[in-house]
Structure 1
Amino acid sequence: MFGRVLRLGLAIDWLRVLPILAATVLAAALPVGVPLLLGRIIDGALRGAGLMELLPLLGLVAGLAIAAALAEVLANTLGARLGYGLSWQLARRLYGEVLRMPMLSYATINPGVLNSRLTNDMRMVDPLFTVVPLATVHGWVGLAAVGIALALINPWFLAAFALVPLALLAVRFAEGQINATIKDSYEINAAVAAQIESTTSGDAVSLVRQARATGAEEQRFATLADKSVALAARMDNWRAVINVAYRLCFDLITVLFIGIGVLLASAGQISIGNVVSALFFVGLVRQPLGEVVGRRYPLIRAGMGLDRVEAVLQSANTGLPTVAAAARPPAQPAPAPEVLAFEAVGYTYPGRDALAVRTLSDVASASAGMTGFLAGVSLTRLDQPANPGTTDQPARILSDISFAVRRGETLAIAGPSGSGKSTIISLACGSLRPSSGAVRIEGRDAAALAEEDIWRSVSLVSQDVYLRDATLRDNLRYGLEDATDERLTDALHQAGLGQLLRQLPEGLGTMVGQRGKRFSGGERQRIAIARAVLRDRPLLILDEATSHLDAEREEGILDAIAAIAANRAVLVVAHRTSAIERADRVVMIEHGGVVERGTHAELIAAGGRYATMHRAGATG
């Protein structure tokens, strides 16, 4: 296990480790002097020595006890600071890795599992850096010190410890039974958590009641509870076996020590004080032996957590260098006529294995919480080929898509559901990279840029606006920490929220609530528009930005967007014809390919697929 910790590549300050080791060694070795001195005190008292004569020895006993206690406190304090620092260093690394996964990988992961890796599993790993190292050093040093001290009194006392291996056999067997139960226990807990998550949200409760399944769900929970009770009882039974084995072992060692002591004392080989010292050592050896043997459970538990953490760290789909923005922004090229250009772009969704992160990905239990343009990604598209080992591939989503959007121009993408509109947005934002062809942002090939560098040029207003559970101010200036309240207020006015801002008693300090529930859908859309104003990026992408609004509110949002879009390139994806009619040009796609292009009026006059969809009142 120590080798695994070193292979993690954490930055360990070995100069800080040395005083911890020294304090731990002192804390384990100094108490051994106490029984030896007590034996000498007893022998002195039996010879008739007075209190004043024995007082220096008594003072030395007190000094050793105090020094050992202080050394243990120091070792624990320094060890905890260093150990938890290393543990959180690993947690920071893990967090950084999961922030840098392909966007599609998140579609295969239940957020609760991801949260568990960063919290529960890391807490399982904590003892590996804190309790276990100190206890291991303390235990072995303590055992060695006790063994040396007993050998100095008389080597025959060591023979009594022959009983320890016999007790350890029982302990090892019981631990094996406990360890076999631990995994079953974790699986039961995971099943309980999954049932709670799938049945206690508002929508889930509604579904349960519609299916008249309240009693059935209670019975499922009761079955899991019964299994959990049986496992817990089994684990407690084997823990009791371990405690009994330890207690019986040391009781028998005490009897043997008394017998050996009486035999040796009657033969004149040791004194009564030596016998008393030996009996003290029986109690003293319990702690270090328990520390050495008792570390198995924390080590096994930590190993289970570390297995899952390492699986994430070692995945090819975590820690991608193509996600985070470059330390130095890419050099701005000469101004290109098109802000966004698709050049014969094709895209095929990768197979599940290409996106999976071991111990995290499970499409069957993945959350359906992907929103915005990612909500259009069906998990079934991530299925593996029908015949593994063959050249079959998942269906191609886009083929030979070409268009360009200039500054001051609005281009609309129209098409039925499943035609590839959401994929086009993902490619334009850099969240996906084309399988063929090229996507250019301000003249630069997106394939040569990190995803966050692409976002320097792109603002997105989506149908589902994600707001953090923080103040309105914090949500607006997220990523723009130097933005003043004056800038924020001006952006809200441009987005049509000036009157609302004046009505809020706490103004910019108003808490928006979880996912922005403090505000209506239209107000959240306008907050997203205000964000776009603040970011002032050359490409504005509108992803079904008005799909949740009635006609009156939709017109207001479209007017606000038109006001801020004058000097930007705008890409619109919408199913409502009102949003598309305002575009300068329309590209109609079906089955992943362009079937028509032109102005709204030209396509209506042509009487083709776009006109048919327009007459139906929607475009997908």
Structure 2
Amino acid sequence: MTSPHFGGPGPGRGPRGAKVDPADRAQLADQPVSLRRIGALFRPYRGQITVVVALIVASSLISLANPFLVREVIDRAIPDKDVPLLVWTVLGMLAVTVSVSVIGVLQTWISTTVGQRIMHGLRTDVFSHLQRQSLGFFTRTRGGEIQSRLTNDIGGMQTVVTSTATSIASNLTTVVGTAVAMAVLSWRLSLLSLIVLPPAIWLTRKVARMRRAITAQRQRTLADMQTQIEESLSISGIQLGKTLGAGPAMSQRFSDSSLVLTDLEVRSELSGRWRMATMNIVFAAIPALLYLAAGLPATSGGMTIGTLVAFTGLQGALFRPLMQLLDVGVSVTSSLALFSRIFEYLDLKVEIDDPEHPVPMPRATVAGTVRFDDVAFRYENADRDALTGVDVAVPAGSSLALVGETGSGKTTLASLVARLHDPTSGRVSIDGVDLRDITLAELSELVGVVSQETYLLHATIRENLRHARPEATDAQIEDAARAAQVHELIASLPDGYDTMVGARGHRFSGGEKQRIAIARTLLRDPRILILDEATSALDNETERAVQDALDTVSRGRTTITIAHRLSTIEGADQIVVLDHGRVAERGTHDELVALGGRYAALLARSGRGAGELVLAR
């Protein structure tokens, strides 16, 4: 991702006096947006949008009637004591207010509904598209950026529909209608307004820019403080701070940030007060000048008091929409940048996708033979292959153990079976069918993975297990837990299977989390099991119990195991020793010991008596 902008133009972006964000310009330069593509999002709602525009125009035009009604009251109804005219004009004022209010509610309802439906479509499309991305995308992209696009950027869609687009239509109608009405009331005062308005607008925008600069700095400082809170007061942060004795340093750092924020808050409040004072001066000065012009014989032109009051009302209503129209370029640029960031994710190429013509692989008919044919793989931007020329056959129902030092390619090779990556060259097949010819949904039913990095959802134990198989019954869930030697632990908890696991499962020990993860995978009843250090977090006694359970459920399944414990490895039907991505040795435990090569050296180096292959990690 090349976009330097973190987040998007949320609600309220593009205030008066704002400048175009350089990040928005950079985003549009890097990822141009087609207006036709944006229009396609709104096309299904053409009717509703037409109604919204019509309501905006009607509301703006109806509200212009008030100054003329006021003029009638002041110039005719009250001086002439014309009671019927007074009643009708007052009723007209009330009717204008009621009409504008009802129209505003109706317009907000329609525009918000349209905006929310577009947001829903984009949000689900982006989420679903990101679900199809490979692991490589998530390793090179910050998680916060992904969350920001799904929440801030797509959330800003509501602003585009209900604020940016509608405000342009409303402000344009108001400015044009007000200008015409002012000219009708008094062309002399209209000319005076042309002289007075530009410097007033310039002064207001200047103050607004000063306040925006302070506000932006305040927001950055506040964001830094929030980051410190998240990092320092999370479970992991507290643990790190206590073990490193970094608590006082963290407190001092937070205090420094808080002190800076205090100063910025004061400056922000003062700048806000200056902005308000400037607006008050402008709003007071313009009517004062109009009153002066109306009172001078040279410029009054026989103007009535009603006309002056009506004109002053129109003049006051002109200032804000005119300034907002002057900032329309900022709003449009921000909105286009928002669309650009959303479309950038939607246009991401899916590196690992379903085949155009998939080969059906019903689980009931799959034996589970796995084969690696001259497989090579290189990670993106890596300077060498992680795997080279791997030829390994794993017969259906047999077990394969992968052994090698750190970085030898064990996890990479196993991940190809789950199609977390595709080989750079060669092929990986199940029962002779290339994995790239099998749908991802069917492949996930055939291959189950338990990795060394256990991840549990912030939900109940039952919901975590059922995440692997939504239709599973409670009895099936308990059977899987028993097989993973974790049922008794769960049953002993006050809430049993309805116990919340906590954020990332921190409520449980590493071994307990690992057994829950094993139960979750077993619940899918896969034909092929990949165990990547699946028992690494267990003590010796628990590891033996879980291994016995895994041995039981592995019967009739193809099992690929990455482990460092001798007890896990020596019983495998086949052991493959990897060295820098190549197959160095293969055979059974006894055959490799008799060979006296790398495997035997690993045994000797780790100490067979300890029962662990330490360097096989």
TM-score, with length taken from structure 1: 0.83
Distance 1:428 1:339 in 2: 11
* Aligned partner (choices 440, 458, 467) of residue 469 of structure 1: 458
Instruction: Tell me, yes or no, if structure 1 residue 343 matches structure 2 residue 376.
Output: no
**C-alpha distance in structure 2 between counterparts of 1:183 and 1:276, whole Å:** 40
State the one-letter code of the partner of 1:404.
A
| Cα deviations by residue, 1:162-207 (Å, 9 ceiling, x for unpaired) | 2222222234444554555666555544544444444444444454
SS at structure 2 position matched to 1:400: strand
Verify the 8 A CA contact 2:188 2:299 in the aligned structure 1. Answer: no
Deviations 1:454-490 (A, max 9, x none): 3232001222332212222222222532222233233
Matches of residues 82-481 of structure 1 in structure 2 within 5 Å?
82-124=114-156, 126-162=158-194, 163-177=196-210, 184=217, 187-208=220-241, 213-228=246-261, 239-240=272-273, 242-263=275-296, 269-289=302-322, 291-293=324-326, 308-314=341-347, 318=348, 320=350, 322-323=352-353, 330-332=359-361, 339-351=369-381, 394-449=383-438, 451-481=440-470
Instruction: Give distance in 1, aligned partners of 2:138 and 2:335.
Output: 26
Residue number among 556, 561, 582 corresponding to 2:571 in the alignment: 582
- Residues 395 and 236 from structure 1, CA distance in 2 versus in 1: closer, same or farther, beyond 3 angstroms? farther
Q: CA deviation at 1:277?
A: 1.6
Check conservation: 1:97, 1:319, Cα contact below 8 A: no
Q: Is the CA contact 1:512–1:519 (under 8 Å) kept in the aligned structure 2?
A: yes
2:562 corresponds to: 573
Whole-angstrom CA distance in 1 between matches of 2:33 and 2:376: 46
SS at 1:130 equivalent: helix
Q: Quote how far apart the aligned CAs of 1:576 are.
A: 0.9
Q: Is the 8 A contact 1:574 1:580 kept in 2?
A: yes
Supply the distance in 2 between the matched residues of 1:319 and 1:273 (Cα, whole angstroms).
66
Instruction: Return the letter of the residue paired with 1:411.
Output: L
Q: Secondary structure at the match of 2:127?
A: helix
Task: Tell me the secondary structure at the aligned position of residue 497 of structure 2.
Answer: helix
Q: Deviations over 1:227-280 (max 9, x none)?
A: 545655665565555444443333232123223433579976443322222122
The equivalent of 1:363 in structure 2 is none
Please list the CA deviations of residues 501-520 of structure 1 after superposition, one character each: whole Å capped at 9, or x if unmatched. Answer: 54345443333322234444
Q: Report how far residue 421 of structure 1 moved.
A: 0.7
Asked if 1 retains the 8 angstrom alpha-carbon contact of 2:358 and 2:439, the reply is no
Question: Any conservation in 2 of the 1:30–1:68 contact (CA below 8 Å)?
Answer: yes
Could you tell me which amino acid in structure 2 is paired with residue 170 of structure 1?
L
CA–CA distance in structure 2, aligned partners of residues 512 and 600 of structure 1: 39
1:410-445 deviation digits (Å, cap 9, x = unpaired): 111111111111111221211111112111133221
RMSD: 3.3
Paired with 1:277 and 1:265, the residues of 2 have a C-alpha distance of: 20
Among candidates 63, 88, 99, match of residue 67 of structure 1:
99
Q: Where do residues 42-61 of structure 1 align in structure 2 (5 Å cutoff)?
A: 42-61=74-93
Please give the alpha-carbon distance, in whole angstroms, between the structure 2 residues aligned to 1:257 and 1:85: 47
Does the 8 A contact of 2:511 with 2:539 survive in 1?
no
SS in 2 for 1:91: helix
Deviation at 1:60, TM superposition (A): 1.7
Question: What's the counterpart of residue 366 of structure 1?
Answer: none
Kept in 1: contact 2:530–2:559 (CA 8 A): yes
1:538 and 1:568 in contact (8 A); partners too: yes
TM-score under structure 2 normalisation?
0.83
SS of the aligned residue for 1:549 comes to coil
- Tell me: CA distance 1:608–1:508, structure 2 relative to 1, closer, same or farther (3 Å): same
Residue 557 of structure 1 and its aligned partner are, at CA, apart by: 0.6
Distance in 2 (alpha carbons) for counterparts of 1:395 and 1:491 = 41
Q: Which runs of 5+ in 2 are unaligned?
A: 1-27, 607-611
Cα deviation for residue 295 of structure 1 reads 6.2
Q: Give the distance between the partners of 2:457 and 2:578, measured in 1 at CA.
A: 35
How far is 1:45 from its partner? Answer: 3.0
Kept in 1, the 8 Å contact 2:399–2:572? The answer is yes
Per-residue deviation at 1:119? 2.7
What is aligned with 2:13? Answer: none
Structure 1 Cα separation of the partners of residues 558 and 239 of structure 2: 44
Decide which of 592, 607, 615 is 1:603's aligned counterpart.
592
Q: Once the 2 structures are TM-superposed, how far is the Cα of residue 11 of structure 1 from its aligned partner? A: 4.7
User: What is the number of residues matched between the two proteins?
Assistant: 575
